[in-house]
Structure 1
Amino acid sequence: MPLIHVTLLDGRTPEEVASLGRALTDAVHETLGTPVDAVRVIVEKASPAHWFVGGRSVAERRSDSS
């Protein structure tokens, strides 16, 4: 049973997250032939203050570009 674990920056709508979950499930089903009911998708959300790029949080980077 494949497990896909995705971490996104907070701010996506519930509809976007649901669409991603469906698309990932479909992709695994189509490419590996895994039954849809056997595919697991976990979507975690991370706050911009807890996501770092180049040693700086996304929140810091966003505030610098404002």
Structure 2
Amino acid sequence: MPIVQIHILEGRSGEQKETMIREVSEAISRSLGAPITNVRVMINEMPKGHFGIGGELASSTRR
């Protein structure tokens, strides 16, 4: 059973996350030959204040 973990910054809509889960699941199923019903996708959303980019908080550097 393939399990995919995706770490993203907060702020994506439910629709965007749903699309990402569907498309990642399809890609894993296709590339590994695994039934899509066996693919698991976990999204870990991080607050922008808990992630650094180039030595600065993402909340300071990203819009």
- TM-score of the superposition, structure 2-length normalised? 0.91
CA distance in 2, matches of 1:30, 1:4: 14
Query: Where do 5+ consecutive residues of structure 2 fail to align?
Result: none
- What amino acid maps onto 1:19 in structure 2? T
- Give the superposed CA RMSD: 1.3
Alignment of 1:7-22 (within 5 A): 7-22=7-22
> Displacement, 1:44?
1.1
Query: Where do 5+ consecutive residues of structure 1 fail to align?
Result: none
> Displacement, 1:51?
0.9
- TM-score of the superposition, structure 1-length normalised? 0.87
Moved over 6 A (4+): none
> Displacement, 1:22?
0.3
Distance 1:62 1:24, change over 3 A: closer
Q: Which deviations, in whole Å up to 9, do the C-alpha atoms of 1:11-35 show, x marking residues without a partner?
A: 1000000000000000011111101
Which protein is bigger by CA-based radius of gyration? 1
Secondary structure at 1:43's aligned position in 2? strand
Taking only the aligned residue pairs, the percentage that are identical comes to: 29
Could you tell which deviates more after superposition, 21-30 or 51-60? 51-60
